[in-house]
Every structure is written in C-alpha cells, then in structure tokens.
Structure 1
Amino acid sequence: MRNYRVILSIAKTHLVSKMRQTLIAALGVTFGIGSYITLVSFMTGLNQMLDDLILNQTPHVHIFNEIKPTRDQPATLYEGMDESLTVIHSVRPQLTQKKIHNAQPLMEYLEEDPRVRGAIPQVKTQVFYISGSIELGGNLLGVEILKEEELFNLGDYIVEGSARDLHNTSNGIILGAGVADKLSLEVGDRVQVTTVKGDVFPLKIVGIYQSGIVEIDNVQSFTNLHTVQRILGEPGSYITDINVKLNDIEEAVSIAEFVEEQFDLTAIDVRTANAQFETGTTVRNLITYAVSITLLVVAGFGIYNILNMLIYEKMNDIAILKATGFSGRDVQLIFMSQALIIGFLGGILGLLLGYGLSVLISHTPFNTEALPTVETYPVNFDIRFYIFGISFAMLFTFLAGYLPSRKAKKIDPVKIITGI
C-alpha cells in the first residue's frame, strides 16, 4: 500500500534541494499565466468596448420602407407576344413614401412579443445646418429621446447637456460634435436647419453628441420626434423608421425575416448591418487567444526541460528508492507530484500577477477625443479567464511531468548502482 505522505515528502525534498531550478520552473508558469491573464483581459475588454460602441448605437432590428423599383413592369406583360416590342431599360422606382404605414400598431404588436424589449419610432430627414454664411449637409433624427437613452444608451455619448434637456425643450437639438466644431457652436447657441424644400427652422442647442465615429459625428444630430414632424410639415403619425431592441440578440435574424414577410417592409438585423465589424472582432479574438495560449505552452516546455534534467541528476536517488522497496509507480508519482506542485504554486502566483497588472491597466488614464466618455483603459475581469488559466497550468504541468516520470519509472536500479 502506497504511503502518499512519504511520496509528497520526497517530492518536496527534491524541489527544495534544487531550489534554483524549482523557482525558475515556477516563475515560468507564473509569467506564462500572468501574461495570459493580462493579455486576454485587456484585449477582450478592448474588443468589448469596440463592440459596445457599435452595437449600443445599432438597433437589433431596423425597420423602414425602402424605395425600390416596381417588381412587375407593364412591358413584361407583352414579353414573347411581339418580337418587335421595344423593352425599356433603367426603369425608375415606383412612386412611394418613406413613411411606414400603420407604424403605431406595428410597434404595439412588436412590443407584445416576449422576445422584444422595446420598439421605438424615428423620423430621419436630410437637412442643411446653417450658421452665418456656412452651410453643412447632414442628417436630422427625430427620436423619443428618453427611450433612446434607455434602450440604446444614447446618454453615454452626450458629452455636453443631457437627454432630459432635449426632452424638456420643444425646439431643441443635440448637435453632432463634428457639426458643432465646424460651425463653432456651443450649448446654448442657436443653429438653423433647412430642409430640401427650403424651409428654415431655428433650433436651440441643448447638447453635444459624440459617438466616436467621425463619419457619424460630422453629419448626425438629434431632436424630438414631433419637432422633425413639424419641420417636415407631417402629422404625428409620420414615422420613417422603427428600431427594435431584443432581449436576446440571437433572435434578430428570425424577427427581421418575419417582419419582412408579414408586413412587406425592409428589416435589417444587427448581424447583417455589422457583418464586417463582427468578422474583425472574431479575428482579433482568435489572435488574442492564440498568443495567450502560446505563452502557456512555452511555460509548459520549460517545466518539461527542468524535470527531465532533474531526473538525470537524481538517477542514484531513484535507484536507492527502488532498492529500498519503492515501485516504479511510486517513483513516477514522486516526479508527477513535483510537476503538479510547481504548476499549482506557479499558477496561483500567475493569477495574482495577472489580476494585479489588469487592475493597474484598468486604472490607467485613457484620454482620446474620439471617445470622451471612456476615462480608463477597458479590461474584462471575466472569472472564466482565471479558471481556464489555472486549469491549463495544472493540465500542462501534468503532461510536462508525465513524460519524464515515465523514464524514472523504467530505470533499472541494478544498472545504476553497479554502473553498468
């Protein structure tokens, strides 16, 4: 019957007698795990910040009435009847309106769906921003600002003023940061907007909006829904877009397909709208995990080399152990125990090192004009990274100790003692 306490005691004695090698092996695991935790926490935190930057401003399902050509042209009725018939190409789109018919009943219907967190209206129109002699083209979005803030975190991107200020001001506007900068406007100033029809309307600036995406900030501004409807001379039922937020983003594709089939509208799901961005995120994550795991593998090979050398140095000790009654299995367990002790101690220290560096990074100031609401570097403190790190450390140190321990198991004590 094996005495595991004796086996652990011998393993400890071997490690202590070669303290330098033991520390090098443990530090290899420590820095491998620490580097893995730091790198994966920082990179996934950065990716998550970029995802949120896009997804927080993108509806899970965007519904609108797309202008498109008439499906069946009159000329198609006569195809094949007269070969001399002249077919007209470049047919113009059918006469249609941008508004969504029966938008309010559609939103009520969607909000009754348990998968839907909220469905809110928008009115989009192209305008010119006028300040003195300067005119800039852009987009004006009429929204229910408090719902936009609740569902799409719009308030996180208002760098001056607030969503409440716009809600309480009937002729207010939250101006895009790029527009405000080019027109030299500030909160409290007035800006005139003119529609394609030439009508001019003065609006009071109650806030500045900065998404971090220059192309958006240079053209886009927000005002109340009824303000845009009044500017366009349209009734309160005039809605051009419906933005849907879901409880589970994975339902976006099926709901978009359902809306298109049932209501003859265009519905774009978030996956389709951001396909290129998601591909970039996937590639970045793959690179992050590949580099991180490589660090752990390198640490594992270091342990293998040290244990392999330790066995050759301990040949006489192994022979004496076997001669005094220890079996090959016992000897193997001694060296396996050494590997696991190194892996456990190095892994715990690595987790502490990684956590400490991650905390340090998360408190490091991150100042950029593109993202004024982000004050420090983003770090993802996901407990799964730490569980994976210590598990990988134990697994790889087990494997790194298994191969050298098999050699120790097969050593013939007679050959070692007699020097044959």
Structure 2
Amino acid sequence: MNINVDIANTYIFSGKKQTLIAALGVLLGMSIYIFMNCLVLALDRSVTTNVFKNTAHIRVYHEETISKELVQDSAARFIIVNPKVVPQSNTIIDPNMVSETILRQKEVTVVTPQVNVPVFYNNGKSQISGIAVGIKPSEANIMYNIKSTMVAGDFEALNTNPRGIVIGVRVAERMNLSVGDNLNLTSAKGVNRTYKVVGFFKTNIAALDKTKSYINLVSAQQLQKEGASYITDINVNITDPEDAKRVGKVITQLTGYKAESWQEANASIVAANKMRFIVISLVSSLILLVAGFGIYNILNMTVSQKINDIAILKAIGFRGKDVVKIFVTQAITIGAIGVTGGVVIALILVTILKNTYVGGDIGYFPIDYEGRKFIQGIVLGLLITFFAGYLPARKAAKVDPVAIFRK
C-alpha cells in the first residue's frame, strides 16, 4: 500500500506543471461552484424574506363563486348563461371557530384575523389612496415581525391606543407627517375617522411603504360599518413555509374556505427563483465537470507516457488493482489540493461580498456562508476527481507487459 502511494507521489512531483494545472482547474471549478450556490441561496432567502414582510404562509378567505356556464333543463336542452360572480358576503362565518380548527393542526404556529380596508389618507389638502390593515398587534407582530421594520415611534402603542395608526414611511413623507400627528382616514363606505400616528415602518418595498398602514382590528371593522365578527382574512404561519401548499389543502378540507399558499400568491417570484437556481446550478456544475475532464486528460496522458513503467511494475508482481490504486491516489491527491484551495477562495469571495455595502434599500450584499453547499461542493469535487482518475487507471490496469516489451 505504501509503495503504491510512493509511486503515485513520484508521478505527482515528477510532472509538477501538469499537477499544478489540474489542481488549478479543480480550484477554480470548486470556488465558482460554492460561491454561485451560496449566492443563489442568499438571493432566494432575501426575496422570500421580503415576501413574508407582507404575506403570511397561508391566507384563508372566502373565495368568490362564479355561476355555471351551462344549465340543463328537463327537456335536455342547454341554456347558455353569461358567467358572472355570484353576489355574496366575502366574510368568514364564525372566524373564532375557524381559527381554532386551524390552530389544532400540528404544523401551524400562528393564526391571526385581518380586515383590509381601502381608504383615503387625508391631511389638510393632501389626499392619497392606500389600504389600512386591521390587525391584532401582538399576533401580527409574531407573524410579520413588524417591530423589526419600525424606523420611528413604537408599534406596541397600538395595543394601548385604539385610535393609533402605524404608517409606511413613504406615506409619512408624502403627507408630511411626524409621530404624534393626527391623520384622517376615509373608507369606501363613507366612514371618516381621525387617528394618531404612533410610528412609521419601512419594508424597503415601495408599493407597501407608500400605501399601507396598520390599525387595530376593531377600528378597521368600524371603517367598514361592521361588527366584531367581520373578518375578511385569516392568516396562518406554519413551521415549514415550503410545505404551505399541502397544509393549505388540508385547511380547505377542514374549513371549506380557500386556503391560498404564499407560493400561489407569488407564483412569478417562485418561478424566477426556480429559474435562477437551475441556471446557476447547471453552470457551476458544468465548470466543475470541466475541471474533472482536465484531470482525466492529464492522467490519460500520464498513462500513455508511463506505459513502459506500468509494464515493468506488472512484470515484477504488481496486480491490476495496484495500478488502479496508484492512479486513483494521484487523482484524489490533485483533487484534494484543488478542493482545499477552492474552499479557501470561495470563503474569501463570500467574505468580500458579505461586507460590501451596495446602498439603497438592500444595504449589505445579501450573501452568507452556506455550510451545506460547502460540504456538497467538497463531496462532488472529490467524486469527480475520483472517476477522472479511475477511468484511465482501468486502462493502465489492462496493460499486457509482454506486448509492451515486444514493442
């Protein structure tokens, strides 16, 4: 065994240039593979985090019903009917019972009701349209982590002030408001109420920051001229957001209401994440595979150049599997050098980007050290180098020393 390793090391150091080129190929392939996969995971996480600032894992609501297109009468004739939305209340009947039913599911962590109210924000002569979201502050904060987005004021003030309102920072800028000012809201039902601004939030999503506000659930019901049982949405968070579709189907069966997963509500974002993952994974894997072909070509050339040496080894008693071990050891050594260097380069690249401030709403570049991708890259790199060495090694193992000596 030691002799096989010694011979492999001799081949490695006797062809230093070839060894260095092969190791550099693996190094570049490995560093790009790890770096790009860390990048795509971080970007996906950043996008998903922004989605969950405004969207629950599952939204339960009363879906509108469409009338049937064809109605068959007793004479077996079809009457064509213009399909349209059937008029009905969009509220959830007995929301407390529905919430309790959902909360009994083991995957569910948070359940909270919500009322969305289209409003006009009025401050003097200034008026802009937006949406006031009626919430239970403590439950909504657990679901959306609203406190982390606060840039002024105190979100907790909503618990103690029934006429308090927390508004998006762009709304505050457009209406020239400060914490403690009064803001008048007018709903589509014609209800007019004045609220006290207790804080500003900033999600870094312009569409939300310039239109959205949070008020107490009771205040939202009053703006809609409705009672305490008026609930338009029940928002649900679960332990694993990726399992939202399956859990949503279970909730629909239990409650009879539409349970829309965040993936369904943000289908374009999910599709973009998948496309990005496929492209980056494919490109980085191909680069690593090309590095494997580089090792294969070098070892294949080594077998051709050392054919006489191989014949002598077999003539003095080395078996085919010994020859295989020699060249596989050589390949694994080159691969280990390249993988180690690739990991170091990937760590450096991730560290540089992680500490790069890009400004705007993003702040620092969204990337992090993904341990799973580092391990995955190391395993994949060593596997590729193993097979890159094994294939020419099999060829070397089949060498007939007698035929070589005759030449």
What TM-score do you get using the length of structure 2 for normalisation?
0.88
Distance 1:5 1:162 in 2: 71
Q: Which residue of the partner structure matches residue 234 of structure 1? A: 226
Q: Which residue of the partner structure matches residue 20 of structure 2? A: 23
1:326 aligns with 2:318: yes
Q: Contact conserved, 1:61 with 1:243, CA < 8 A, in 2?
A: yes
1:183-332 aligned within 5 A: 183-249=175-241, 252-261=244-253, 263-332=255-324
Q: Contact conserved, 2:113 with 2:135, CA < 8 A, in 1?
A: yes
Indicate the SS of the match to 2:119: strand
Distance 1:224 1:306 in 2: 71
Q: Which residue of the partner structure matches residue 376 of structure 1? A: 364
Aligned residues: 406
Change (3 A) 1:237 1:311: same
Query: CA shift at 1:108, angstroms?
Result: 2.4
State which of 5, 8, 13 in structure 1 corresponds to 2:5. Answer: 8
Q: Contact conserved, 2:353 with 2:365, CA < 8 A, in 1?
A: yes
Give deviations 1:253-297, integer Å, cap 9, x for gaps.
455445545544333233322233222211111112111111110
Q: Contact conserved, 1:161 with 1:187, CA < 8 A, in 2?
A: yes
1:14-413 aligned within 5 A: 14-68=11-65, 79=73, 89=82, 93-94=86-87, 96-249=88-241, 252-261=244-253, 263-369=255-361, 371=362, 375-413=363-401
Change (3 A) 1:337 1:181: same
Change (3 A) 1:346 1:81: closer
Query: CA shift at 1:12, angstroms?
Result: 0.7
Change (3 A) 1:259 1:303: closer
Indicate the SS of the match to 1:163: coil
More deviation, 183-192/125-134: 183-192
Distance 1:361 1:285 in 2: 19
Distance 1:105 1:29 in 2: 60
Query: CA shift at 1:178, angstroms?
Result: 3.4
Give deviations 1:135-164, integer Å, cap 9, x for gaps.
211111011122112122233333433422
Change (3 A) 1:259 1:415: closer
The percentage of counterpart residues that share the same residue type is 33
Indicate the SS of the match to 1:105: helix
Distance 2:7 2:63 in 1: 77
Indicate the SS of the match to 2:19: helix
Q: Contact conserved, 2:69 with 2:83, CA < 8 A, in 1?
A: no
Query: CA shift at 1:360, angstroms?
Result: 2.5
Query: CA shift at 1:354, angstroms?
Result: 1.6
Structure 2 segments unaligned to the other structure (5+ residues): none
Matched to 2:301, the amino acid is M
Matched to 1:286, the amino acid is I
Change (3 A) 1:389 1:235: same
Q: Contact conserved, 1:57 with 1:153, CA < 8 A, in 2?
A: no
Q: Contact conserved, 2:101 with 2:254, CA < 8 A, in 1?
A: no
Query: CA shift at 1:194, angstroms?
Result: 1.0
Q: Contact conserved, 1:319 with 1:413, CA < 8 A, in 2?
A: yes
CA RMSD in angstroms comes to 3.0
Distance 2:331 2:43 in 1: 35
Matched to 2:384, the amino acid is F
Query: CA shift at 1:69, angstroms?
Result: 5.8
Query: CA shift at 1:393, angstroms?
Result: 1.5
Q: Contact conserved, 1:57 with 1:154, CA < 8 A, in 2?
A: no
Q: Contact conserved, 2:122 with 2:128, CA < 8 A, in 1?
A: yes
Give deviations 1:292-350, integer Å, cap 9, x for gaps.
11111011111112212223333343344334333343233211210111112221222
What TM-score do you get using the length of structure 1 for normalisation?
0.86
Change (3 A) 1:327 1:125: same
Matched to 2:21, the amino acid is I
Q: Contact conserved, 1:146 with 1:163, CA < 8 A, in 2?
A: no
Distance 1:327 1:359 in 2: 48
Change (3 A) 1:162 1:293: farther
Query: CA shift at 1:242, angstroms?
Result: 1.0
Distance 1:248 1:390 in 2: 28
Change (3 A) 1:97 1:20: same
